[in-house]
Structures are given as structure tokens and as C-alpha cells.
Structure 1
């Protein structure tokens, strides 16, 4: 038994070679990751079956309880037996591939072992088939719950080898001869096969870790590229943005050239071949046209299939991917290589992932553009709602003054023209200088005070230097109008409106405070949150302001209302000095 151990260790070296060879085969990597179909599993069964045959051929012949150290065992004498690593190969195949692979390997190994002969041929053949089936079902069941660990695989392999010893004892005659054989080969085969499975599974784990590292690196690169290109793709597909994206990709990938196109022309080309792949011109390669027409990823490692019109073009391989916006191909992303071997699986998968990310970024940019256009349209509509009734009141006032005070009527017509000129200018702009809004407010007050000369007084406290600060149009004036129409509705004189504007930190604070009748708590609750139907339109104006501040500043601005019944109202706007976009 002791003499058998070093000889079996030599045979285990074969398993290490098998594991190394398998680690270089794509189909084996796929089976480890559960990516292989039925056809692939049968191929893997044939593969492991071939190595189980090698295991039989390299076995150690046992003759009358003595070892025959042959190098290649082609036939076993009728009274002899062999010690080998067959069950180990069958067990590994079943654990990794499941019942289909396990059964296939077991049948191949068992039949071949039976053809070699020997007084244990039948028992060994039966144990091979049963070991394959058992390992396959154990592997299938265990993989559903967790990853098969090396120690678990060792336990399964040693158990299968122990069962083989029991089958030899049960089905081999005479029993005394079988028992003498098991005494010699039992412990060495159980221990050495367990050691072989351990080494094999460690190699499998290294394959898995390598795959995980590769995918993690690939994912990291993809997200890094996506993060750095997002600001440019938000501008859409144009020459400036695509040129920046192409520079980033050339820096962070193994490509020798990167190009981006829209449906009609090259928008950017950085790297090799840039002397004839010129942005702004028509496509230099027929492969791009095929991708645009079919909307599918195309890869080539032959210069002829790129279809470049330049005979001395250095680009020898390419992967061309469609950039899609709402399921429509809007352009292409192209990665070119001078040497075909550089276009490996990692680079191809990275390109495919980036194409999907870029397509998503373009869709988001398009959605953001549509959202902004809609928001702008809503803001214009809200602005157009302001003060249609004011025009008629002013005309009536001026009409009456034409009979009594022509000069004042003339001045009010000038103020009215200033008011509506500011109205028209504001309707075309998202923000205007504060001084323009103040001009608008003063024109409004001139027209209103002509109607009610003693009803109220308005004071301005404007911090020097804020006149050029940009604010949304039609924000201050409606607040002043609310104070006049609502706060002083029941009085004839003595009203005070205080307008205070100053900078604080990174914001401008605009406060309109009156000493009017105030607002009850019940009335105050919905103001600014919804439109309120009233004869004066108070709630609608403040709601419009609130919506416009929200739309323009993305909730960075604020509008606060403080009021006590019969004590007055204070409305404060806080507007960022800089817009977030």
C-alpha cells in the first residue's frame, strides 16, 4: 500500500495538466458559469470521457498483490486489476456539468475500463457509471443553493471512491481476492483521488476569480467611460460632443482609433486613419452603412470587410455598434484596431456595453430636452396669464383723464407702454435683470396710483449692487399687485407696502410686506399650492410664481408667506444667484 502512494501521485500530475488545458478552453469556462447548453454538455462529456480513458491507460497494474509500474496500460490480465484516477475524472465531470455530463463520462469511462479486462472489470465499469450519475445529481442540486467548494468536492470524490471499493467487494469473486486487492489500493486511491480533486477545484476557483476580476475591471472601465462622457452626450450627437467622447474612449480602451457617426456623416474620428476618416465628411467605410441599415453589431478582423476606400488604411479590425434612440438607430460607435488580435472578447464586450450605455445617455438627453421644452412652454403660458384685466382698467383711467388732465394722461400712456413693453420682453426670456423688473413694478404703480392716489404708499429698500442680478420676470410685480388689491380692499387710505431686496449668502431675498387685513390660517393653507378662484385672482398669481420658480430653479428657490389676520402679510422669495443648469 505504501509503495502505491508515490506512483498514484505521479498519475495525479496528469489531472493538473488536464485542469490547465481546460482553463484555456472557452467552452469549459462557460460550463463553469452555467452558460453551456445541451450540445455543449455532451461535448464536455466527451472531453472528460477522453481523459478518463487516459486515466485508464496510465493506471498501475496490480498482479497477485504486487505492483507493475508500466507507463501505458493497453490490456489487463484476467487475474489482475488496476489502480487509477478514473473515478476522480468522472466525479469532477459530474459535479461541474450535472447529470448529462456525469452519465456521459461514466459510460465512456466504464465501457473503456471493461474492455481492458481484469477480474474487477465489471465492478469497475458499474462503479464508473454509478459515480457519474451520483456526482451529476449532487452537482446539480448543490449548485442551485451555492457554489461547489473544493472541500465539498473532495468529500464527494472520496465518497465515490469508497463506494467503488465496496462495489468491488460486493461484485467480485472470490471475495478473498477482492479483499486483498482493496487492502492494497483502497486507502491510496481514496486519499490520492481526493487530493487530485482538491487541486483541480482550486484551479477552477482561480478561473472563476479571473473571470470575476475581468468582469469587474470591464464594468469599472465602462462606468468610468460612461461617467466621463455623460456631460458631452447630454448635448446630443454633434461634432463637438462626439469629439470629446472619442478622445475619452481612445484614452481608456485598447482601440487604435475611435469614431462616432450620425445617420449621414462622420462626427468624430480620433487615432489611426484620421488622415482620411475626416469628421464632417461622408462615411469612409461600408461597414458603417451596413450597421446603420441593419441596426446590429458587426465585428470584423479582416481589412477587406471594413470596406475602407483608402488602400493603405492601417485599420485591420473593427467593431461597429449602433447607437439607438427610442429603438431607432441614430448613429454608430466604432472601435478600430491595427492588429486583429487586439480585438479580443474583452474589448468586444466592453464596446457592446458602452454602446448600450451611450444609447441610454442619448435617450436621457433627448428626454431632458423634451422636458425642458415642455417646461419652457408651460412657463410662457403661465406668464401670458398675468394681468389681462389690468390693461382694461388702465385704459379706462387714461380715458377719464383725457377730459380732466391731458398731461397726466400722456404720462400714464408712457407708463402703460413701458409696462407692456416689459411684459412682452419678459415673455420671451427666462430671466431678466432686477432693474427691469423694478421698472415694470414702478410703471404698474404709476397706473394704479392714478386710480387710487391716497389709498396706499409704497417704499423701496434696495441694496446697492443688486440691480443687475437676474430673476424670473413677473415675480415681484404680482406680489405688489396682490398687496394692493387684497390687503387694502376695505380701506380708502393709510395702506403701506414695503419692498425690501438684498443679498444673503448665495441668494437674493425679495420681501413684499403690507399692513393690510392679512389672511386667515384657513385661507393661507392652499395659497401657492393650487389655483384659487376669486374675483381678485390672488391665489392664481402666487401659484404661477411658485410654479415658475420650481421650473426654473429645480426647487432651489423658495417662496414663503407669513400672515396674521388684521395685521398684514409678508411674502418672501429666496432666489439663487446662479441657476443650477
Structure 2
């Protein structure tokens, strides 16, 4: 027994060194981390575990009356547990080939059992998954595999008496050796998985800390100020040797080792930055030469550089530097790339918001420029007539027109208090009353406290203009425009109602989600007001139209209640 146990112990020692070497191979760890094996991955695992199985035929070879005691089974069991049935059978075949040529009366059973053990261990792996293989499962699988081998040797080996005598001598030590070796290897693999999970957790935590800290940092775009904030956040959270944020042409911010010659505002000088600008993909440099800094005393020996891309345009990059030839880990590459994607999305959102703001400003300018030329010509003609007949009335009308045009063309504010908007309405109605005379009447019912409600500029006056132009003007007898406002809960309502012709539309009531009618001719459409309310207030901004032909039209605007301090004396001037 001692002659068998000592070689088995020696075999385990050699196997332990082999296991340590295999599990530290980068290609093995990379393959092991794959969630689904490719054919290439399976072939690699077959070769690795097949080599261990084949090696087991020659380690601690003990010839007992024409039979061999060895640890071939370990490599096959590991292949099945970590690679599945195909890898297990493949490793079994590779392990069985040298066993076939070694001969012995147990050779047929040993060869056949290699394939069976590979299949069984592979099926166990399929059931639990490679990450679900515990030390207990590994031990039981190794034990079952050794029992399969012993059973097949007893069944298929001739003579039976010799096979039985052999197993009495080698069964216990070989079972112990295979179980110990299998559990030892699986413990290393589980440590690798645990280490990977720890790294992934750390990476996720670091990414979340960077994202949380960098949120809204790039709301004004990528410039030296925002780049400095980003670089400081990454430097603080990830603690690299150095961090840089660049544009396609220059360094926007640099923090850390090498800041004596990697200066903010200086042109980009490293090879990696030039390559990122060229290929628009992440670049990893692991040597000082690959980094490509022309300064010979530069201490930087490695860098991960990820581009900041919005649409098809390269806006810059973020760079994480290493020194003293420190290893660049895969999770660090994924982390920097993830942060770069987040920052790119922030820049994309900023550009979209900026474009939307410019579009809104353009629409607002168009809105202000939409002064009906017929209204202007008619007003000037009225002033011309009044100059002859009523100089004081002409003066008042000229003043109102001047104030109206000044407010319409020069105001840059998007929100104004209601009292100010009603001043614009009053001036407009005064001008129209000079033309229509007693045919046009206006009534206002607004509680004093609601005059401090803020409203989008030029939302009430266009409604009054539409009521007069399209509702009352075509009628020989004219009509009345009534403006009312009220509060309900936390919502503000204002209604412009006329007793004119009504809208030519089959619908009596038109809600916010319906398509609004478009009046013919120049002027400010209801759809413009609708879109502005939706942009400013979202779902709380609403427009509703009730109209009946021959009876009149009622347009109601809804918006959140927002009261400001009201200047003293303004209410009385509006009424």
C-alpha cells in the first residue's frame, strides 16, 4: 500500500503545480469567463484538460501485475465539470489515447471508462452550470467517476481475479487522489469566479460613483471648465496615476503624474490620442513606447483612452494613465469605456436640448415678427383719419401702437405676469376699438390676486386677435370679447370668449390632444400656443376650444398655478 500511496502523493503535488499554472493562464481565465462557449473555447478546454488527463497516465505510474494505477480521471472530470459533455468526452478521448498504447489487461476498461466519465461529469455540469459547481458537487462527481472506473475494470477486465486483487490495493488511494485533486482545482476556479465577481462589483460601484458625481456636469458642453470637473471626479473615484480629458486637438484638463509637460490647453502629443481620433475607438497602450509621449522623462507607461462620440462626431476622449509598468486590467478598460459612453450620452442630451432651445427661440422670434401687415396698415389709416378729426385720439392711438410694437418686437422674456400680458391686450384692443368703434366691446373678469400669475408671453393677445379678426370682424354688428380667469386646486384657467361667427368645424369641442383648426391668412395660430404650453408645462399645459357656428367661440388655457409678487397699481390699469 505504501508503494502506491507515496507516488500518488507525489502525483498530487505535480498536479497541484500544473493546476496553478493552468488557472493563471490569461487565455484560460478569459475562456472560463465566457457565459456561452464558442467552438474555439471548447477546443481550447479539450486541449487543456485532455493534456492533464494524458499527463495523469504518466505521473506516478505503478505497474501491478500488468495493470496501471494513475490519476488520469482527474483531467477528464474537470473537463466535464467546467466545459460540459463535449469537453468532457473530448478530454476523455485525449486521455485515453496514451492509455491505449500503455496496454495492460485493464486497458479496454480504462479507455471505455474515460469516455463514460467525461459524459457523466459533463451532464452534471449541464445541470448545475459551471458557476454552480460547489466543492461538494466536485467531490461527489470525482467519487462517482472513480467508482465507474472501478466497476468497469471489474466487469470488462480478464482475468476477474486479477482485476479484483488490483482494485483491493489501489481503490482507496486512487479515489482519494482523484477527489482531492478535483476539489483542489475547483477551489481555485471558484476563487477565480469570486475574484471576478468582486472586481465586477467594485467596477460597478466605481462606475456608479463616477456617474452620480458627473451627472449634469456636461450640461454646458465639453470645455475646459467641465473637463476639469470630469477629470477631478475620475481621479478622485478611480485613483489612477493620471487622468486627462481632451478635445480632438488639445488637452482640456490633466491631473496627476506628468502634469509638468502634459499641460491644459496644449496640443495633444501622445500616439494614443492621435489613434483614437483616427479610428474613433478605444485604444489601450501597455508600454511607454505605445503611449508615445515625446518627452523622454515622461513616467507614463500605460494608458486606456476611450472616445467621446455624439452621432458621427468625435468631441474628445477620456484617458486613464498607468506608471511603473503596472498591469492594465480588463475591468478597467470596460470601466473607462462605460464612463465614456455615459459622458457621450450627456453631451448628446446637451446638444439635443441646445438645438431644441435654439428652435424654440427661433419660433419665438417668428412669433414676435408675425405682426399682421393688414392690422398695421389699417391702424395707420385710422390714425391718419383721426389726425384730421381728433388729434388727441390720434395721439393716444399712436402711443398705444408704439407701445404694442415695442413690446412685441423687443421683449426677450418667455414668461411674464398676467397683468403685463393684459396690458398688451388692452393696447391691442384700444387700437382695434379706434377702427371698429362701438361695434367692439371688451369685458374682463379676473380676480385681483390672479394678476400675478405667470403666463407664457403672447398667449392671451393672439387669442383676442383671433376672436376679433375671425369671429367679430366679419359681422356688421361686431360683437363682444370677454376674458375670464379662475383658479381650481393648483391649476390656473383663463378663457377668451367671443359671440362671433364660430369656427367652421364639425366638432363643437376640441381638446388638447385633437388637431387644432388653422385660420386662413397671416397671424398667430392656435397650434403655436398649444405647442408652447406643452413644452413649458408638459401634461399640465392644456388648450380647449368650444365653438358653435353663429354663436361664438370659447378658448380656455390651463396651466399650473404660479403666483408672483404683483407691482402695486398694476391691476387697476388693466381692468
TM-score by length of 1: 0.79
Shift of residue 447 of structure 1?
Answer: 0.6
1:109 aligns with 2:110: no
Distance 1:25 1:407, change over 3 A: same
User: 2:560, 2:367 → 1: CA distance?
Assistant: 19
Asked if residue 332 in structure 1 is aligned to residue 308 in structure 2, the reply is no
Of 30, 48, 63, the match for 1:76: 63
Which residue does the alignment assign to 1:480?
464
The SS at the match of 1:340 is coil
In structure 2, what is the Cα distance between the partners aligned to 1:366 and 1:390?
39
Q: Shift of residue 444 of structure 1?
A: 0.3
- Aligned to 1:333, the other structure's residue is in SS state strand
For 1:273 and 1:169, the matched residues in 2 are separated by 72
Q: How does 1:99-498 map to 2 (within 5 A)?
A: 101-114=87-100, 118-132=104-118, 134=119, 138=123, 149-150=133-134, 156-183=141-168, 185-186=170-171, 193=178, 197-198=182-183, 200-341=185-326, 343-385=328-370, 387-426=372-411, 430-432=414-416, 436-454=420-438, 455-459=440-444, 461=446, 463=448, 471-482=455-466, 484=468, 495=480, 497-498=482-483
Task: Provide the C-alpha distance between the structure 2 equivalents of 1:567 and 1:364, rounded to a whole number of angstroms.
Answer: 45
Q: Which moved more, 1:319-328 or 1:305-314?
A: 305-314
Report how far residue 55 of structure 1 moved. 3.7
The structural deviation recorded for 1:304 is 3.7
Q: How does 1:78-97 map to 2 (within 5 A)?
A: 78-82=65-69, 84-97=70-83
CA shift, 1:247, in A, is 0.9
Whole-angstrom distance in 2 between the partners of 1:422 and 1:237: 36
1:546 and 2:541 matched: no
Distance, in Å, in 1 between the alignment partners of 2:187 and 2:395 is 97
Distance 1:155 1:378, change over 3 A: farther
Report how far residue 430 of structure 1 moved: 3.5
Alignment partners' CA distance in 1, 2:387 and 2:371 = 27
Of 97-106 and 226-235, the range deviating more from structure 2: 97-106
C-alpha separation in 1, matches of 2:535 and 2:344: 27
State the 1:259 CA deviation.
0.9
Partner in structure 2 of residue 68 of structure 1: none
Partner of 2:29: 29
Alignment deviations for residues 220-277 of structure 1 (CA, whole Å, 9 cap, x no partner): 3224323432412332221111111111111111312111111221111122222332
Structure 2 CA distance, aligned partners of 1:178 and 1:391? 116
Determine if contact 1:463/1:501 at 8 Å carries over to the other structure.
Answer: no
Instruction: Sort the Cα spacing of 1:531 and 1:504 in 2 relative to 1 into closer, same or farther, 3 A.
Output: closer
Greater shift after overlay, 310-319 or 429-438?
A: 429-438
Q: CA offsets per residue over residues 160-190 of structure 1, 9 Å max, x none?
A: 3333223313432212222333455557755
Residue 419 of structure 1: CA displacement? Answer: 1.6
Change (3 A) 1:367 1:139: farther
Q: Say whether residues 1:47 and 2:34 are aligned partners.
A: no
Tell me the secondary structure at the aligned position of residue 244 of structure 2.
strand
Does structure 1 conserve the Cα–Cα contact (< 8 Å) formed by 2:510 and 2:546?
Answer: no
* Residue range with higher mean Cα deviation, 165-174 or 190-199: 190-199
**Residues 488-522 of structure 1 deviation map (CA, whole Å, 9 limit, x = unaligned):** 676959947345588997x8x46345584797993
CA distance in 1, matches of 2:331, 2:511: 58
Note the C-alpha offset of 1:212: 2.7
Q: Structure 1 pair 40/573, CA: closer, same or farther in 2 (3 Å)?
A: closer
Q: 1:79 to 1:293 in 2, by over 3 A?
A: closer
Instruction: Determine which of 491, 494, 497 is the counterpart of 1:511.
Output: 494
* 1:272/1:409 CA distance change after superposition, 3 Å: same
TM-score w.r.t. structure 2 length? 0.80
**CA 1:516–1:347 in structure 2 vs 1: closer, same or farther (change >3 Å)?**
same
Aligned-partner Cα distance in 2 for 1:7–1:77: 13
Task: Tell whether the 8 Å contact from 1:303 to 1:316 is kept in structure 2 after alignment.
Answer: yes
1:527–1:543 CA contact under 8 A, matched in 2: no
Gaps of 5+ in 2: 564-575
Q: Distance in 1 between matches of 2:487 and 2:260?
A: 58
- Contact 2:308-2:344 within 8 A present in 1 as well: yes
Shift of 1:14: 6.7
Measured after TM superposition, the shift of residue 91 of structure 1 is: 1.7
| 1:532-566 Cα deviation digits (max 9, x unpaired) | 2457999x743321111223444453445678997
Distance 1:535 1:284, change over 3 A: closer
Per-residue CA deviations over 1:387-441 (Å, capped at 9, x if unaligned) read: 4543244234334334422331232122112222222124x55445656533322
